[in-house]
């Protein structure tokens, strides 16, 4: 099987990381993969904010959990109130993914960039997790200012990155294959 397909099948959302920071060359390669994502009308509407300061990551975690605790969805509210839960799973690097609102399809384009970065991380042996819960922090628009997101951009989600703290590779679960029909 080709290496790209192996990486796609092998990638998992990692929620346990070693504390040491990933190397700059690896981070650069991951960001480069995001920049090379497909995009509608070649808009390239993404903007990436890399956060590697543990104190800032922890502040963002707390602010996100405060908003999550107010959710009408039980499991989200419970996680927001859980002392032990860390939105970013204590990853040493977090990348905030924002999109230019005037683009044709910024959310879709930023999703493609995010997936590219997740796959690039896996190909480098780096754990990753796509974090949608950060959107709760953005319910308070003033919180967006701390990220220095350019005007006209909207933050969508975050990516956690770090070296995996796992004893071995995770098994590849079987997937539902009853999701395809052909019109020929």
Residue 149: give its domain's CATH number: 3.40.109.10
As a whole number of Å, the CA-based R_g of the chain is: 17
How far apart CA 16 and CA 118 sit, in angstroms, is 15
Asked whether residue 146 is domain-assigned, the answer is: yes
Asked whether residue 91 is domain-assigned, the answer is: yes
Tokens of 47: 């903007």
pLDDT digits (tens, 9 = 90+) for 91-144: 999 999 999 999 999 999 999 999 999 999 999 999 999 999 999 988 877 777
29 is in which domain, residue-wise? 21-163
pLDDT digits (tens, 9 = 90+) for 34-87: 999 999 999 999 999 999 999 999 999 999 999 999 999 999 999 999 999 999
Helix ranges (H only) for 20-163 are: 24-35, 54-68, 74-81, 106-123
Asked whether residue 6 is domain-assigned, the answer is: no
Asked whether residue 50 is domain-assigned, the answer is: yes
Asked whether residue 173 is domain-assigned, the answer is: no
pLDDT digits (tens, 9 = 90+) for 161-173: 999 998 777 788 8
Q: Which residues contact 20 (CB under 8 A, 6 or more apart)?
A: 92, 163
Asked whether residue 97 is domain-assigned, the answer is: yes
Asked whether residue 15 is domain-assigned, the answer is: no
Residue 131 confidence (pLDDT): 97
What is the tally of structural domains in the chain?
1
Asked whether residue 4 is domain-assigned, the answer is: no
**DSSP run (H or E) holding 154:** strand 153-163
């Amino acid at each position: 099987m080709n290496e790209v397909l192996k990486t796609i099948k092998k990638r998992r959302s990692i929620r346990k990381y070693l504390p040491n920071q990933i190397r700059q060359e690896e981070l650069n390669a991951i960001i480069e993969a995001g920049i090379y994502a497909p995009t509608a009308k070649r808009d390239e509407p993404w903007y990436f904010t890399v956060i590697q300061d543990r104190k800032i990551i922890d502040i963002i975690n707390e602010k996100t959990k405060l908003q999550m605790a107010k959710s009408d969805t039980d499991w989200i509210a419970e996680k927001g109130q859980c002392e032990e839960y860390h939105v970013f799973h204590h990853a040493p690097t977090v990348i905030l993914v924002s999109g230019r609102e005037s683009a044709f399809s910024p959310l879709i384009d930023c999703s493609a960039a995010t997936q590219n970065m997740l796959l690039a991380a896996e190909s480098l042996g780096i754990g990753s997790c796509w974090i949608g819960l950060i959107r709760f922090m953005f319910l308070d628009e003033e919180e967006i200012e701390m990220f220095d997101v350019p005007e006209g951009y909207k933050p969508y989600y975050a990516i956690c990155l770090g070296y995996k703290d796992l004893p071995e590779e995770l098994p590849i679960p079987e997937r539902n294959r009853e999701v395809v029909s052909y019109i020929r």
